[in-house]
Amino acid sequence: MQIRQADKHMRTSLRGIAKRAKEEPKHRFGNLYSLLNEKNLVECFPQLNRKAAPGVDAVDWKTFESNLKENVSHLARSLKEKRYKAKLVRRRNIPKPGGKQRPLGIPVIGDKLVQTAAAQILSAIYEQDFLPCSHGYRRGKGPQRAALELSQRLHRGRFRWVVDADIRGFFDHIDHEWLLKMLEVRINDRAFLGLIRKWLKAGILEEDGRVVYPITGTPQGGVVSAVLANIYLHYALDLWFEKIVKPRCNGDVMLMRFADDFVCCFQYREDERRFSKVLGKRLGKFLLELSVEKTKVLKFTRFETENNNSFTFLGFEFRWGLSRAGKPLVTMRTARQKFRAALAAIKSWIKKDRSKLGTAELLNKLKQKLQGHFNYYGVSGNCEMLVSAT
């Protein structure tokens, strides 16, 4: 799709792209780079997180906003003249349960702004291609909705076997060349693809001051990383499951995925066995690896309520139980590990901030944190775990 007027408003342009992508599934889009102009960058700026930590240049949202016109003008000019270079990404390690850490990449504001515009363009195209099984970082979807849909389909369906899968270090092992090949299926714009390559290859400033240049992966925290990750697994997993796995199964099958977290459900054991046998090989083709210690297969039926069979997905523990009327149903409870981590985080926060905040302000912030927990985990059947959190 040739976009001749570079000064089109972003929203209008995105609608046109989405319409063309839906109507012509094999169309390759050109001249997308021209959408990264000054007017569209200004339009994208309010969407940035005002409270996000600054990148390596120590410039935060407020500072950038104070001289917005000049900053965006300089950025747009560097893009137009093909002088744009991605800055170093600041690495910040976030503690995880069990003593592990999750690395986050924090780009500078200027890079975030261009990534926001690029991510919107990618989403306009690929939202038309993504399958219903994909729930991560998509408008109108979300983790709670994915978990609830999984619960309902397990309850109503004839699924008896669940593959609870985990990809080892997914975001760190996305292969750059495979990703760019995938993008070329829908994009015929060397400048736009070159921009994505620059972000993938951008140096990372570690907390100890070292600068490393990645050969694989896309930093978690980068604005464009989420949609790129979805595109990668759309081709590596979702389409394969839909077009190859499903037609070869004898019974009902289902894939439910949120980013790199996914479960596959089967009616028959032989279908599950064939799938489990080839899953690792399929992911390996795209330089991904299953975490053997975190991936498990379990029998999951309404007749197994006494065997305590359960699995965890998106912070919820799923198991068959009995309703008050004695009828089998799939229950959702806060996963024990998530529950302990939430309590530990709140206790740590109280110890850290109670001397800095007055009683009223401390209670107000605590209320906000608990409300967020209740909003997510407040599903039918989870009352006991919610009460425990208080």
pLDDT at 355: 66
Comparing CA positions, the residue from 332, 104, 314, 374 lying closest to residue 218 is 104
**DSSP code string of 255-289:** EEEETTEEEEEESSHHHHHHHHHHHHHHHHHTT--
Report residue 335's pLDDT band, with 50, 70 and 90 as the boundaries.
Answer: confident
Under 8 Å between Cβ of 151 and 314: no
In tens, the pLDDT along 154-168 reads 999 999 999 999 999
User: From the CB of residue 305, how many other CB atoms can be counted at a distance below 10 Å?
Assistant: 15
In tens, the pLDDT along 183-242 reads 999 999 999 999 999 999 999 999 999 999 999 999 888 899 999 999 999 999 999 999
| pTM assigned to the model | 0.88
3-state helix, strand, coil in the chain (%, to 5): 50, 15, 35
Q: Is 364 helix (H, G, I), strand (E, B) or coil?
A: helix
Q: Cα–Cα distance between 249 and 270 in angstroms, integer?
A: 9
277 Cβ neighbours under 8 A, 6+ residues apart: none
pLDDT at 3: 36
